[in-house]
Amino acid sequence: MIYLFQLMNGIGLGMLYFLLAVGLSVIFGLLHFVNFAHGAFYLLGAYLCYALLQYGVGFWGALVLAAIIVAAIAAVVETGLLKRIYRLDHMYHIVATIGLALMIQEIVIIVWGPVGSSVPAPKALTGAIMLGHFIYPEYRLFVIGFTAVLAAILWWVLEGTRLGAVVRAGSESTDMVSLLGYDINRINTAVFALGAGLAGLAGALAAPIRGVDPFMGVEALAVAFVVVVIGGMGSYTGALIAGLLVGIVQSLMTTLWPAGASLAIYIAMVLVVLVMPRGLLGRA
């Protein structure tokens, strides 16, 4: 039963990792932009959810508002700062986004303090599901179901709509998209905001499971890059498969080898890269 429990935990973690990483992957695929502030948006989403709950907003409202606020902040940052350095060398991307991430982290510490806090799950999901001898928390089951539905919606948006077609075309040639009459700057801003909003949503969903602390963004960023590298840059399906793989490996290893649980995901990344340098479903 313990392995089944950890498998379910791994699927839940994997779906959160997918939400976190898919935005990073799509941003890189369209903008060819290395965003080291992605983990900070996850951090911001978690703390906004925590703050909104403190102000009496219900959990469901806090979940939606946290994602929307993070997306709005990301749109402002992208429009005012980041779009000015897209065409520069990746070194400038890294320096600028690391600086942005540190600013967000320090603002969180100033506003909410350096000590972490717990976040309560919604009252409707505080119980557990019992199937014979198997017991599993309702909130974690909700996270699996909710993220699975969201993944299906995202897949439909990216693969079955005009917006998705434009985004995919933009990842191949932004000049061609511009010649077709689309405003590539608005598309870039929308995609960047969407990716950051998904990271914020992942943070808000994770908050009742792990609590919040000012350094959770660094951990999230590392995992997001592992998932993107394993899945392949710019690949939606790759991010989903890699997220589940990383989540399950990490969760099962906490039972088999607790001290090496975090190390295991990096070993998995190295093995995948050695065999498939572009990742599971990455492009050249």
Who wins on pLDDT, 125 or 260?
A: 125
Where are the domains positioned within the chain? 2-119+130-275
The predicted pLDDT at position 105 comes to 94
pLDDT above 70 coverage of the chain, percent: 93
Segment 103-112, tens digit of pLDDT? 999 999 999 9
Q: Label residues 76-99 b or e (16+ Cβ within 10 Å = b).
A: ebbbeebbeeeeeeeeebeebbee
Q: Model pTM? A: 0.91
Q: How far apart are CA 88 and CA 81, in angstroms?
A: 13
Cβ contacts of residue 265 below 8 Å, gap of 6+?
A: 223, 226, 246, 249, 250
Q: Is the pLDDT of residue 191 over 60?
A: yes
Q: How far apart are CA 16 and CA 148, in angstroms?
A: 10
The predicted pLDDT at position 90 comes to 81
Segment 164-176, tens digit of pLDDT? 777 766 666 666 7
As given in the structure block, the two tokens for residue 35 are 């965003």
Right CATH for 2-119+130-275 from 2.40.10, 1.10.3470, 2.30.29, 1.20.1300: 1.10.3470
Segment 233-252, tens digit of pLDDT? 777 788 889 899 988 888 88
At residue 235, φ and ψ (nearest 5 deg) are -105, 120
Highest mean pLDDT among 89-93, 206-210, 257-261: 206-210
pLDDT band at 186 (very low <50, low <70, confident <90, very high): confident
DSSP secondary structure code for residue 259 in this structure: G
The predicted pLDDT at position 174 comes to 67
- Point out which residues pair with 128 in neighbouring strands: 137
Segment 22-51, tens digit of pLDDT? 888 877 776 778 889 999 999 999 999 999
Q: Is 11 helix (H, G, I), strand (E, B) or coil?
A: helix
DSSP secondary structure code for residue 114 in this structure: S
pLDDT band at 148 (very low <50, low <70, confident <90, very high): very high
Least confident of 35-39, 193-197, 203-207, 266-270: 266-270
Least confident of 32-36, 90-94, 129-133, 200-204: 129-133
The predicted pLDDT at position 44 comes to 96
Least confident of 49-63, 73-87, 161-175: 161-175
Who wins on pLDDT, 204 or 183?
A: 204
